[in-house]
Amino acid sequence: MRRGAARMARRFAAWLGAAACLVPALAQAQAVALMYHHVGVGEYPSTNVTVEQFERHLEYLAEHDYRVLPLSRIVRALRAGESLPPRTVAITFDDAYLSVYTRAYPRLQARGWPFTVFVNTDSVGGGNFMDWAQMREMARDGAEFGNHSASHDYLIRRRSGEDRQAWLERVGADIDRAQAALEGQLPESVTLDPRLLAYPFGEYNAALAQWVADNGYVAFGQHSGALGAHTDWRAAPRFPINERYAEMDGFARKVASLPLPVARERPFDPVVEADNPPALEVVLAEQPERWRDLRCYVGGEPMEIAWQEPGLRFRVRSREALSQGRSRYNCTVPAEGRFRWYSHLWIIP
């Protein structure tokens, strides 16, 4: 972000192909954040991309004139109501795995591209994780670092006999401990304006999200969607990328996506304590041009959309109860040759 900043604006070939003609080359208040974990570590396919897949992703971004910017710069611009260059993308990594240093970093360094690593600080230097010296080396080439908690625990889960206040104090201390370690070890490359946090496993609830906001963090989950003027920065979306979802057609759709202008979602809290399957009501800030083509899915299956106010307010609910763990309702609507994309996380305890 600092010494590497001069290199991060490298431009490549002009937008290629028919799809390029449909994407206006104008500054826009939007961006896409990509989330990786391992690179080239085949024993973890659910959180890994192959080296070849990662290289193809970088080549695609370069060939199609995407601008790779630090996540913190994107957040500051969008929160201030400022526009960003067209086709702006942030590249992020969760967990600070060693393969980020050995495989991803050299390829990003060669292009002069910045990236963001969310660090669970208790793991630094152990097993397959980077150490502080390696992170400081990456910082010299434009990497920035964010908070991924100290423990990488399931933060929303209460321990036996733990009430709400005790739980919130414990997880707050966990996040604070990680922030102190990051600022102590990487003082020049930890963004404080704003503080960046990624929820472990992408899990949050309303109480944790409010604590995060009250303590000056912008937080990211693992649910899909683009960033924009209406993003809820208590739980902002990123597109998770792994071997199964790394094919180039899907990757091209994700990086070209636009935000669905969601003004309000009910409920915000993803934790489902009763009434499974849950109903979701979405209120849009403005009517998308092709709102009648809105489609919503759960587990790949289409859901019926009940428009309560045409083009502005709709309700969806899965036909079947959601399984234990994490699920998502995903909604898309065509726009400008791409898709506006929105995802709501659900957690079944």
Res. 120 pLDDT band, cuts 50 70 90 = very high
One domain for residues 209 and 328: no
- The mean per-residue pLDDT over the stretch 263-284 comes to 97
pLDDT tens, position by position, 171-225 = 999 999 999 999 999 999 998 989 999 999 999 999 999 999 999 999 999 999 9
- The mean per-residue pLDDT over the stretch 6-15 comes to 31
One domain for residues 154 and 297: no
Please measure the distance between the N-terminal and C-terminal CA atoms of the chain and give it in whole angstroms.
39
pLDDT tens, position by position, 155-172 = 999 999 999 999 999 999
Q: What is the pLDDT of residue 277?
A: 97
State the average pLDDT for the chain.
92
Q: What is the pLDDT of residue 27?
A: 58
Residue 331 sits in which domain range?
A: 264-348
pLDDT tens, position by position, 216-272 = 999 999 999 999 999 999 999 999 999 998 999 999 999 999 999 999 999 999 999
Res. 16 pLDDT band, cuts 50 70 90 = very low
Among the ranges given (3-17, 50-64, 94-108, 292-306), the one the predictor scored with the smallest mean pLDDT: 3-17
- The CATH number of whichever domain residue 286 belongs to comes to 2.60.40.10
Q: Is the pLDDT confidence value at 24 over 90?
A: no
Res. 100 pLDDT band, cuts 50 70 90 = very high
Give the Cα separation of 328 and 347 in Å (integer). Answer: 9
One domain for residues 343 and 216: no
Examine the fold and report which residue of 258, 284, 315 is the final residue of a domain before the chain moves on.
Answer: 258
User: According to the 3-state scheme, what is the secondary structure of the chain?
Assistant: CCCCHHHCCCCCCCCCCHHHHHCCCCCECEEEEEEECEECCCCCHHHEECHHHHHHHHHHHHHCCCEECCHHHHHHHHHCCCCECCCEEEEEEECCEHHHHHHHHHHHHHHCCCEEEEECHHHCCCCCECCHHHHHHHHCCCEEEEECCCCCCCCCCCCCCCCHHHHHHHHHHHHHHHHHHHHHHCCCCECECCEEEECHHHCCCHHHHHHHHHCCEEEECCCCCCEECCCCCCCECCEECCHHHCCHHHHHHHHCCEECCEEEEECCCCECCCCCCCEEEEEECCCCCCHHHCEEEECCEEECEEEEECCCEEEEECCCCCCCEEEEEEEEEEECCEEEEEEEEEEEC
Q: What is the pLDDT of residue 336?
A: 83
Q: What is the pLDDT of residue 5?
A: 35
One domain for residues 53 and 134: yes
One domain for residues 38 and 86: yes
Per the structure, the count of domains in the chain is 2
- The CATH number of whichever domain residue 160 belongs to comes to 3.20.20.370
Examine the fold and report which residue of 258, 273, 294 is the final residue of a domain before the chain moves on.
Answer: 258
Res. 3 pLDDT band, cuts 50 70 90 = very low
One domain for residues 199 and 282: no
Q: Is the pLDDT confidence value at 8 over 60?
A: no
